[in-house]
Structure 1
Amino acid sequence: MAKNLRAKIPAADTLLVRDVNEEAAKRFVAEAEEIARSLGVGTGEYQVKIASSAREIAEQSAIMVSSLPESQHVKEVYESIVEHGKLPELEEERLFIDTSTIDPVTSKDIASTIHRAQAGQFVDAPVSGGVVGARAGTLSFMFGASQQPELLERLRGVLAFMGKKAWHLGEPGSGVSGKLANNYILAINNIATAEAMNLGVRWGLEPKALAEMINSSTGRCWPSEVNNPVPGVVETAPSSRGYEGGFGVRLMHKDLRLALTAATESGTPLVLGEPAREVYKEVEGAHRGKDFSVVYQWLQNKAK
């Protein structure tokens, strides 16, 4: 996402980055410098600098994009921005765009914190499309923001640097609500695809032929077509490289937990939710760090 931002924002703009993995940030800066040399741009163009804190980025930027694993991390980052007093004035209102998948209550609380501090506009804009979509710049964003035409136009312009679709779902908090609903379907579909592929293979069906049939029929879904869990069926899928990369099973377990909590708070029954959560809990324990499609491997081992 950061690479696409650097490539698509004006060359004279400076991209400030902050990551707890300092080596990753340094590699990103080095890559940007190499690209700048290859483009032959002038001094002061295509710059990437490492910030020492989120507060530093907020002080120097009109737009800040965050992407973090859990609710507590998002809360800590934004509290660190406002706890040191008022931010410097800018010609235009600051935008804080959080692309994390967190619970709606925390997201709304953070939006209120930013509003009370008069720091700018906080927008929840969780992302869908995985690592493949991030690299290709084809991500989909679902965002929650007040119904202000100028704000919405500005937001869509920023999100277009990193993705191809952006849905305004309503007021602040609605973006993460929509994302959790989407990922609930993804969590269930992933298990169903792994079970169906495992069933077909054990019946003696050739995996690629089975997947091709499913993807031309009513069973077609993202886990079967793009992220097929059987190694070798989709060469670009994590399953074909040892389930490395992709969307971690820990993150899927987290998103499903958040969806179940939000469902309970709204009195909404999710009859498949708890059994699915138990599956991901076991899979995470057995295959920590792997893509969530490793459910297929877990099922194979379970049958032995």
Structure 2
Amino acid sequence: MTIRSVVSLPKAPRLCAPTARRWPSMARTFSTTSHRDATWGFIGLGQMGYNMAKNLRAKIPISDTLIVRDVNEETIKRFVAENQEARRSSGTSPDQGKVEIAESAREVAEKSTVTITSLPESQHVINVFHSVLKDGALPSLKDERLFIDTSTIDPVTSKDIANAIHNTQAGRFVDAPVSGGVVGARAGTLSFMFGASSQSDQLIERVRSVLSLMGKKAWHLGDPGSGVSGKLANNYLLAINNIATAEAMNLGVRWGLDPKALAQMINSSTGRCWPSEVNNPVPGVVETAPASRNYEGGFGVSLMHKDLRLALEAAEKSSTSLYLGGQARDVYRAVEDAHRGKDFSVVYQWLQDKSE
């Protein structure tokens, strides 16, 4: 079983097919001892993962344990401290509602029946699952392990990892990227699009039950790899809608229109879309939007630039023409250079700066 090369997290490796890594075979070497099967794992406590993990901890049985892992030690400590404070405030027993810290992705996988990953780039996902598989068989549990990757990565990498998990009999791998941004992650209203074997209704329902703990909708789009393919199609549209919304709002404001009145009209008309209604790019129009917090929080412009790049690369591999994609990519590249770390709706600020 091969997958593309794995390197340390801080670097950005070339993910090329010729530099393949062979995974160890684990087909007949499972341990016969059972570990705790009421433990859930979460790897990746970024802006999305942090809030998803909080909702997960709040909705799983109080007697279950959540074990977390992230490369940022301060983030892990903050997550555990917030959980401890919430337990104290609610009068929860010290033995209930627990959150534990894992030293490695392998430890998370060893202890957890369900492991959820939320990571920024393809190489981070590769690194995590190589860490999970490189030391041989995982201890057996009463239920088959389920690995749900909510990251947005390229379809080829996702299929490679699914094959590695399935061929080594480590469990089931499902790609389930999300839509809804940090606002949706915080509110528990995310939408998931997932890829899982269409031949197993039981698996599909199991995945849906897990995703319902962190969101409101879950679409099964087909076999492994179809979730990330659907997400890239969605985010291609989102990327362009966001630019169009920023341009329309900037145009109206420069014509002297009140931005709130303009947004209300658009959101009651044919121009209505998520960037205009929920994530409006003009400060003060939507109080809960990142634009009203100096474009902090939300979906980073670097992540949108990445998703658009992945969509364009996948389109090229499938010989699909995308006429607006190249121009949108140029916009996000420039906005990322000017406003790195901000929400992707900062395109509006970038347009204003160019119009001055």
TM-score normalised by the chain length of structure 1 = 0.99
Q: What amino acid sits opposite 1:290 in the alignment?
A: K
Matches within 5 A, 1:112-261: 112-147=163-198, 148-261=200-313
Q: Secondary structure in 1 aligned to 2:280?
A: coil
| Aligned residue in 2 for 1:16 | 67
Equivalent residues, number: 304
**Runs of 4 or more consecutive aligned structure 1 residues displaced over 3 Å after TM superposition:** none
Shift of 1:91: 1.1
Does residue 126 of structure 2 align to residue 75 of structure 1? yes
Matched, 1:40 2:104: no
Alignment partners' CA distance in 2, 1:8 and 1:38:
17
AA at the equivalent of 2:205: E
Offset of 1:76 from its aligned partner? 0.6
How far has the Cα of 1:177 moved from its partner? Answer: 0.3
Q: CA deviation at 1:264?
A: 0.4
Is 2:335 the partner of 1:283? yes
Matched, 1:100 2:151: yes
Report the structure, 1 or 2, having the larger helix content: 1
Match of 1:53 among 89, 104, 110: 104
User: How far apart, in 1, do the equivalents of 2:326 and 2:69 lie?
Assistant: 36
- What letter is aligned with 2:263? A
| 1:193, distance to aligned residue in structure 2 (A) | 0.4
Task: Using the aligned pairs only, state the percent identity.
Answer: 76
Q: Secondary structure at the match of 2:173?
A: strand
Q: Distance in 2 between matches of 1:10 and 1:131?
A: 24
1:105 to partner: Cα distance: 0.4
Opposite residue 33 of structure 1, the aligned amino acid is Q
Structure number with the bigger relative contact order (C-alpha 8 A, sep ≥ 6) is 2
- Aligned CA RMSD, in angstroms, stands at 0.7
Deviation at 1:117, TM superposition (A): 1.7
- Cα distance, 1:39 vs structure 2: 2.2
Partner of 2:160: 109
Q: Which residue of structure 1 aligns with residue 31 of structure 2? A: none
The residue that corresponds to 1:263 in the other structure is 315
- Give 1:298 shift: 0.4
Please give the alpha-carbon distance, in whole angstroms, between the structure 1 residues aligned to 2:347 and 2:104: 37
Deviation at residue 41 of structure 1 after TM alignment? 2.4
CA shift, 1:64, in A, is 0.1
1:2 aligns with 2:56: no
CA-CA distance at 1:43 after TM superposition: 3.4
Letter paired with 2:314: A
Query: AA paired with 1:13?
Result: D
Deviation at 1:17, TM superposition (A): 0.2
Instruction: State the TM-score, normalized to the length of structure 2.
Output: 0.85
| Residue segments in structure 2 that go unaligned for 5+ positions in a row | 1-51
In structure 2, how many angstroms separate the alpha carbons of the residues matched to 1:215 and 1:41? 43
Tell me which moved more, 25-34 or 7-16.
Answer: 25-34
Residue in structure 1 matched with residue 80 of structure 2 by the alignment: 29
**Aligned partners of 1:41 and 1:238: how far apart in 2?**
34
AA aligned opposite 1:296: Y
- Could you report, residue by residue, the CA deviation over 1:263-295 in whole angstroms, capped at 9, with x for unpaired residues? 000111000000000000000000000000000
**CA separation in 2, counterparts of 1:109 and 1:292?**
30
Q: Distance in 2 between matches of 1:171 and 1:237?
A: 35
Distance in 2 (CA, whole Å) between partners of 1:283 and 1:60 is: 42
AA at the equivalent of 2:94: T
Alpha-carbon separation, structure 1, partners of 2:88 and 2:249: 48
Deviations 1:43-101 (A, max 9, x none): 32100000001100000010000000000100110011000101111111100000000
Displacement of 1:24: 1.0
Residue 33 of structure 1 deviates from its aligned partner by 1.3
- For the residue of structure 1 that corresponds to 2:229, the secondary structure is helix
